Amino acid sequence: MLKKLDSIFSKIRPYPYIHVHSNFVIDKTPVKFHIKNPVERFRLQKWGWEKDLIVDLIAALRPDDVLYDIGASVGAVSVTAAQKAKIGKVISFEPDPENAASLRANFELNGISNFQIMQCAVGEEEGEMELFTEGSNGFSPSLRKVNGISSSVKVPINTIDSLVAKGIIPSATVIKMDIEGAEMMGFKGMDKLLSGSPKPRLIVFEIHPEFLPAFNTNVTEILKFLIDRGYKFDSLETRSHQILCWASA
């Protein structure tokens, strides 16, 4: 994939530069991003083939929403959402050090202050785990060796319930999650939040079925977990090797 991207973008002006996304304007303000390599351009200017998801999610946000962007990468969702939820807040979870640095730079580029970056993975326990990553110019990081990535770094891992209980983050009203197979781990670590009242009204997440065996889970277990906690699925869309899920309380 990386060779293909390098080929596609080989004639593009040298990096780094700032690209202004004219197709995303929130309150008459264009959303801007630093782009320093071909993969970031793919994720930000081309929206990683997820433009429809981002457009629909931003449209569903309210000005006072608190959004958890779990697997925020360099901020395509986080930065745009923070422009929409100006009274609320965006909590961005991104364990990869390079991605987290780019994420912060993109928030600052847009003069955004209603954000909080949690440089940690989310799961069902607290501690430390190995994150397989190639940084911002590689495949999406994962807590299992599922993307053919051999390089790794140790990162902290926390549960959402623990972070909320300690007052480190506020409770979410909307959750977006894309964590390369670790979906069940993430949901188990927010059981109290999802079972409580009020609970997040909307959860938008991607399931990566081919990665799930490495996490000892399956699609049925993930969907049932949310159904058992009072969520209904408004949409289940198969896209290539992924399933895009919209669940509402």
Percent of the chain exceeding pLDDT 70 equals 90
**243: pLDDT strictly greater than 80:** yes
Length of the chain equals 249
Q: What is the pLDDT of residues 97-122, one digit of tens each?
A: 999 999 999 999 999 999 999 999 99
Strand partners, 28: none
- Give the model's pLDDT for residue 233: 97
Strand partners, 25: 30
- Give the model's pLDDT for residue 20: 56
Please state, in angstroms and rounded to a whole number, the distance separating the CA atoms of residues 113 and 86.
9
- Give the model's pLDDT for residue 12: 37
Please state, in angstroms and rounded to a whole number, the distance separating the CA atoms of residues 121 and 92.
11
- Give the model's pLDDT for residue 29: 80
- Residues 6+ positions from 223 with CB-CB distance below 8 Å: 233, 245
Please state, in angstroms and rounded to a whole number, the distance separating the CA atoms of residues 113 and 92.
13
In this prediction, residues 81-86 reach a mean pLDDT of 95
In this prediction, residues 150-155 reach a mean pLDDT of 89
CA torsion, points 104, 106, 109, 112, in degrees to nearest 10? -70
Q: How many CB atoms lie within 10 A of CB 171?
A: 15
- Give the model's pLDDT for residue 123: 97
Q: Per-residue confidence at 23, pLDDT binned at 50, 70, 90? A: low
Strand partners, 90: 67, 115
Phi-psi region of 170 (alpha: psi -120 to 50; beta: other; left: phi over 0): beta
**11: pLDDT strictly greater than 60:** no
| Beta strands in the chain, from DSSP E residues, in sequence order | 17-26, 29-35, 66-70, 89-93, 115-118, 121-122, 127-132, 152-158, 174-177, 202-207, 232-239, 242-248
- Quote the tokens at residue 185: 């781990």
The CATH class that applies to domain 47-248 reads alpha beta
Please state, in angstroms and rounded to a whole number, the distance separating the CA atoms of residues 180 and 169.
23
Angle between helix axes 76-84 and 97-109 (nearest 10 degrees) is: 30
Please state, in angstroms and rounded to a whole number, the distance separating the CA atoms of residues 37 and 14.
9
